[in-house]
Amino acid sequence: MKYKPLLVTLLLLGNVLTSYGATGANSAVDMNTINIMPVLPYPASSDIHYEECFDLTRIIIDCEELSSATAWTEKYMKEWYGEFAPSVVAGKSVSGISDAEAYSLLSDGSGVSVKARTLQGIRYAMFTLRQLVIPKRGTKTIAGYIIRKADIEDRPVSDFRGLHICWFPEVQAWEVERLIRLAAFFKMNYVVLEPWGTFRSDVAPWYGYPDGTMTKSEVKRLCGIAKDLGVTLIPQLNVFGHAALARERVGKHAALDTHPEYQPLFEPDNGWNFCLTNPETRTLIMDLIKELYDAFERPPFFHIGCDEAYDPSCPDCLKRPYSEILSEHITAVSETIVKMGARPMMWHDKLLVKGDQRWKGFTATGSQETAKLANTLPKDIVICDWCYKTPKEDYPTLKYFKGLGFDVLTCPFKDVKGMETQIKFSQKNGIGVLGTLWHHYFGDDLFNIYYHLSCMMWYGDMKDIPYRSWLSAFYTMLRYVCWDMKFTDYTRFGSFKYQVPPENFLNN
């Protein structure tokens, strides 16, 4: 009630707001014949009038988390629009919206009204609003902002909308931050961060590169940025294979290259797997998990990797069935994670027998031994089923894990047609999505993945929008992120660091 007098005043003010452009019926331009960049990810329902804009002077918020939603919006309006930021008015503490991530946004002659049950819904409304706002026309530099006429009702199709990001030694913190901020603007709610020898551990400083850029202070900073933008960061530690913390084909090992004294912790076969029968290995892994979990401010999930491991090659691990050793190991790791307050996530491929006809065309790298785990592992584990293939008629691996009682995420990569069909299948079967980027930090794959992944996760389908139009929308959003990060260096803008690669002089 205390806001009522202000609200009434502002509503009266709304009558004198300036309208720019013609209404649809009187427009000189046929809006059906020109392509304008879409709002990304596509809203569930939207009526946007690009030809008609109003001064952006105030935003009225209805939200059950009213004080935090108002404070958050005020902060970001100032950050995005500076001296021309609209006023933010706390409206009602009921929104009439039941879904936690849903929102509505109405922009017309009386101002902007947004409604959501939660702060998260209000964040999504504002990420949409940012795409509807442009500077006032006709001046040399910005003299205020206008917003397109719009009526939007929106909510995501997938509840779990994650992106897996690798932090390689070549990668700097700003690059990771840029991807996280972009994920937030594309309305994703989880980012898994996998350090590739870059995490600066105190409990095992030898396990990783001494100049790794993923310091605890950077992780803390990124957790804060992500949380404020509505994204939860999830740490990853590979507890089985991939112990080298380097891509296999490059032949590096983040520990053994410079610390051969720790060889007993790894299998003799190139150190790719941890030696799971060595009790010192278990101690190391548990210590690292606890350290990473605390560094990431105790999120609800922890990714334990477990993909692409090999058969053992040491005499101790060869004495018993590997399925027993593995099951004990992963169960112990999982129990520790559950006790800490999180759920483990793991890649699926070792749980399927390679060559089994049921998985033909899908990723299965397991043996009869490792595949037995599917029946013995705790159901707290979320199975991350990675499938980077072309579209399929059916997704038997997703059904298999779901049938065993696991929660499952489908994990596409850069094949966008495959991504579309597997996410559609997942959405029909109560399965979430964890997209992957791997080393594709830049270039065509970057915008292809963000665009298709976010639209599929949020809207549940792709529209026939010209390449140039959606690419413009992507780059506009990427530029917002770069502005927010206050870059000045040429290489940090856009989706390519260089237009002419520095090594090109060798080519001719």
x/- site string to Zn ion, residues 34 to 53, per CB under 5 A? Answer: --------------------
Rounded to a whole number of angstroms, the minimum distance from the CB of residue 273 to Zn ion is 8
Range in contact with Zn ion (rule: CB under 5 A) among 60-68, 147-155, 313-321, 412-420: 313-321
Range in contact with Zn ion (rule: CB under 5 A) among 173-181, 250-258, 307-315, 354-362: 307-315
Q: Which two tokens stand for residue 179?
A: 């991807």
Contacts of 375 (CB under 8 A, 6+ apart): 404
CB 410 within 8 A of CB 423: yes
CB 208 within 8 A of CB 199: yes
x/- site string to Zn ion, residues 256 to 275, per CB under 5 A? Answer: -------------------x
Nearer to Zn ion, 194 or 267 (CB): 267
Nearer to Zn ion, 248 or 316 (CB): 316
CA nearest to 121, candidates 167, 66, 39, 53 = 66
Out of 13, 286, 314, 332, point to the residue binding Zn ion (CB under 5 A). Answer: 314
x/- site string to Zn ion, residues 273 to 302, per CB under 5 A? Answer: --x---------------------------
Contacts of 454 (CB under 8 A, 6+ apart): 40, 41, 161, 186, 187, 188
Residue 239 sits in the site that holds Zn ion (CB under 5 A) = no
Nearer to Zn ion, 184 or 275 (CB): 275
Measured in whole angstroms, how far is the alpha carbon of residue 131 from the centre of its chain?
19
Rounded to a whole number of angstroms, the minimum distance from the CB of residue 321 to Zn ion is 14
Q: Which two tokens stand for residue 38?
A: 């879409």
Range in contact with Zn ion (rule: CB under 5 A) among 31-39, 311-319, 403-411, 487-495: 311-319
Q: Which residue has the tokens 């919206």?
A: 97
Contacts of 134 (CB under 8 A, 6+ apart): 53, 145, 146, 147, 148
CA atoms in the 13 A half-sphere facing the CB of 266: 24
Rounded to a whole number of angstroms, the minimum distance from the CB of residue 242 to Zn ion is 16
CB 238 within 8 A of CB 208: no
Rounded to a whole number of angstroms, the minimum distance from the CB of residue 364 to Zn ion is 24
Rounded to a whole number of angstroms, the minimum distance from the CB of residue 280 to Zn ion is 11
Nearer to Zn ion, 7 or 314 (CB): 314
Rounded to a whole number of angstroms, the minimum distance from the CB of residue 327 to Zn ion is 15
Rounded to a whole number of angstroms, the minimum distance from the CB of residue 271 to Zn ion is 11
Nearer to Zn ion, 233 or 276 (CB): 276
Tell me the one-letter amino acid at 125: A
Rounded (10°) angle between helices 416-428 and 444-458: 20
Residue 317 sits in the site that holds Zn ion (CB under 5 A) = yes
Residue 105 sits in the site that holds Zn ion (CB under 5 A) = no
Nearer to Zn ion, 268 or 418 (CB): 268
Rounded to a whole number of angstroms, the minimum distance from the CB of residue 371 to Zn ion is 20
Report DSSP letters for 74-143, one per residue. Answer: HHHHHHHHGGGPPEEEE--S--S--STT-EEEEEETTEEEEEESSHHHHHHHHHHHHHHEEEPSSSSS--
Query: What gap in Å lies between CA 255 and CA 309, rounded to an integer?
Result: 17
Q: How many residues bind Zn ion (CB under 5 A)?
A: 4
Rounded to a whole number of angstroms, the minimum distance from the CB of residue 386 to Zn ion is 26
CB 262 within 8 A of CB 274: no
Range in contact with Zn ion (rule: CB under 5 A) among 6-14, 315-323, 348-356, 478-486: 315-323
Residues forming the site for Zn ion (CB under 5 A) = 275, 314, 316-317
